[in-house]
């Protein structure tokens, strides 16, 4: 009986799924660099107050989902539920010069009900454009996301956009929304009834069907935008149009975090069912100031790695054996030569492996089969005397001898190195 299993809401990335994960990460990293972003790595856990301050006391993340604990000095720490707050904390603490463009690839943790594409430990791919106030930056981040998904051949993607205004105009909207929600309190789900007084905008994001039906009659943020916010949103829309990026305006798109203002956006897939968001983001011009920095405009996006993998076409597993050479030695006298040869193969860019455990030829050939190696190079006493190596094709079983100096040059084209 299996004694240990992975915790609920987590997963193992084993080959070939681990190869697909690496493909997604490398695609994101390469594109981020092309757009001028540099990588930042922050701790897996932060002081709890950082996330309370950034996400908001009324957010589901703070109320329901954070993995928080006390260390031995009774400090409250939290496994990061998302990437942005740690990035801002690091920028301020290390006094990075702004403007700056930063990207990250990080594990995140939220205690939520596991389902397809939704885990308690998940990976987030994010970019942050710090110190950039232009509405065209918002559109460029959306363009980045569309291009990223396109590179992974993800079809059926819809870009949803909205504006939720600024501190000035959102206050008027908040009062109008509060009045509407209080009059319709009984038609809302229990969660939304609690949100009314704490954070009424969160109600717009509710996925409950009854709430969504009732909210069709609710006032929406775009109806109350001030002239500056309206101009900002118009520029975003015009820039998306100029870049020929299809989009839909969703008046209920507010995102799940309190720090957003003005532009919000989301990438939605038709491949995933209920959990259909691949990622999203928006503008957060007040967050840096709220975390102790100077007033600084900022915009960013975050993409879920696991949902991206679900939306991708099925990864084609290469047929045939791995591009791997297994070096075989036949006695202790040849082991040193075999080790040196393995190192030379690796230095030449040829994947190579050997076993130190047994000089038995049959056993080592079996290990080469288990490793799914394409070729075996045999380092034997008689071969060394004649200055040759045995080369066995482990797919066809054919075996030839090659002069030792020619081995690497002959293997490279065979393995497409």
Q: How many CB atoms lie within 10 A of CB 29?
A: 15
Q: DSSP for 294-347?
A: ----EEEEEEEHHHHHHHSPPPPPPSS-EEEEEEEESSHHHHHHHHHHHHHHHH
Q: Is 157:248 a contact under the CB 8 Å cutoff?
A: no
Q: What is the pLDDT of residue 396?
A: 93
Q: Can you give the length of the chain in residues? A: 417
Closest CA to 342 of 334, 397, 381, 417: 334
β-strand pairing of 322-329 with 373-379: parallel
pLDDT per residue over 344-359, tens digit each?
Answer: 999 999 999 999 988 8
Using the predicted structure, report yes or no on whether residue 340 has a pLDDT greater than 70.
Answer: yes
Number of H helices and E strands in the chain, helices first, is 15, 16
Provide the sign of the torsion angle of the four alpha carbons 103, 109, 113, 114, taken in this order. positive
Tell me the C-alpha distance between 412 and 417, whole Å.
5
Q: How many CB atoms lie within 10 A of CB 278?
A: 25
For 235, the token pair is 């520029």
CA distances (Å), origin 89, targets 36, 40, 162, 258, 293: 21, 12, 27, 17, 9
**Coil vs helix vs strand at 4:** coil
Q: Please name the residue that has the structure tokens 């975050």.
A: 302
Q: Residue ranges for the binding site?
A: 82-84, 110, 124, 128, 255, 259-260
pLDDT per residue over 179-188, tens digit each?
Answer: 888 888 888 8
Q: What is the pLDDT of residue 190?
A: 83
Q: Is 149:31 a contact under the CB 8 Å cutoff?
A: no
pLDDT per residue over 356-411, tens digit each?
Answer: 988 888 999 999 999 999 999 999 999 899 999 999 999 999 999 999 999 999 99
Peptide bond into 244 cis (omega under 30): no
- Over range 42-67, report the average pLDDT: 86
Indicate the pLDDT class of residue 57, thresholds 50, 70 and 90.
low
Indicate the pLDDT class of residue 198, thresholds 50, 70 and 90.
confident
Q: Is 101:124 a contact under the CB 8 Å cutoff?
A: no
Which has more pLDDT, 191 or 67? 67
Tell me the domains of the chain and their CATH numbers: 17-166+226-311 (3.30.930.10), 322-415 (3.40.50.800)
Using the predicted structure, report yes or no on whether residue 160 has a pLDDT greater than 80.
Answer: yes
Using the predicted structure, report yes or no on whether residue 305 has a pLDDT greater than 70.
Answer: yes
pLDDT per residue over 147-158, tens digit each?
Answer: 999 999 998 899
pLDDT per residue over 253-264, tens digit each?
Answer: 887 667 889 999
Q: How many CB atoms lie within 10 A of CB 112?
A: 16
Q: Residue ranges for the binding site for L-histidine?
A: 82-84, 110, 124, 128, 255, 259-260
Contacts of 160 (CB under 8 A, 6+ apart): 247, 248, 249, 250, 253, 265, 266, 267, 268, 280
- Per the prediction, the chain carries an average pLDDT of 91
Provide the sign of the torsion angle of the four alpha carbons 347, 350, 356, 358, taken in this order. negative
Q: What is the pLDDT of residue 227?
A: 95
């Amino acid at each position: 009986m299996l004694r240990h299993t992975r915790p609920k809401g987590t997963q193992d990335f084993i080959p070939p799924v681990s190869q697909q994960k690496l493909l997604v990460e490398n695609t994101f990293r390469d594109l981020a660099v092309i757009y001028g972003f540099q990588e930042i790595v922050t701790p897996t856990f932060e002081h709890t107050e950082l996330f309370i301050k950034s996400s908001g006391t009324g957010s589901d993340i703070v109320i329901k989902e954070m993995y928080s604990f006390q260390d031995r000095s009774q400090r409250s720490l939290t496994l990061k539920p998302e990437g942005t707050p740690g990035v801002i904390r690091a920028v301020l603490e290390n006094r990075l010069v702004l403007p700056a463009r930063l990207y990250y690839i990080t594990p995140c943790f939220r205690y939520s009900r596991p389902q397809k594409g939704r885990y308690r430990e998940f990976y987030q791919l994010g970019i942050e454009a710090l110190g950039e106030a232009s509405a065209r930056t918002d559109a460029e981040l959306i363009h980045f996301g569309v291009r990223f998904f396109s590179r992974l051949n993800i079809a059926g993607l819809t870009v949803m956009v909205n504006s939720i205004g600024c501190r000035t105009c959102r206050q008027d909207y908040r009062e109008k929304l509060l009045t509407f929600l209080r009059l319709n309190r009984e038609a809302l789900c229990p969660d939304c009834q609690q949100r009314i007084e704490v954070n009424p905008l969160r109600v717009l994001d509710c996925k409950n069907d009854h709430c969504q039906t009732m909210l069709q009659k609710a006032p929406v943020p775009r109806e109350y935008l001030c002239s500056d916010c309206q101009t900002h949103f118009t520029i975003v829309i015009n820039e998306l149009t100029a870049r020929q990026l299809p989009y839909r305006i969703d008046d209920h798109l507010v995102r799940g975090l309190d720090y957003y203002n003005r532009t919000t956006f989301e990438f939605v897939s038709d491949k995933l069912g209920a959990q259909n968001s691949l990622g999203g983001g928006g503008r957060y011009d007040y967050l840096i100031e709220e975390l102790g920095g100077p007033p600084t405009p900022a915009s960013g996006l975050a993409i879920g790695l696991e949902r991206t993998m679900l939306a991708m076409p099925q990864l084609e597993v290469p047929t045939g054996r791995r591009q791997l050479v297994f070096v075989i030695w036949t006695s202790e006298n040849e082991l040193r030569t075999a080790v040196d040869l393995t190192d030379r193969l690796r230095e030449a860019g040829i994947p190579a492996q050997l076993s130190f455990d047994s000089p038995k030829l049959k056993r080592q050939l079996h290990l080469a089969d288990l490793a799914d190696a394409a070729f075996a190079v045999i380092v034997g006493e008689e071969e060394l005397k004649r200055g040759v190596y045995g080369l066995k094709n482990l797919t066809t079983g054919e075996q030839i001898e090659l002069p030792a100096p020619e081995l690497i040059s002959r293997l490279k084209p065979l393995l497409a190195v």
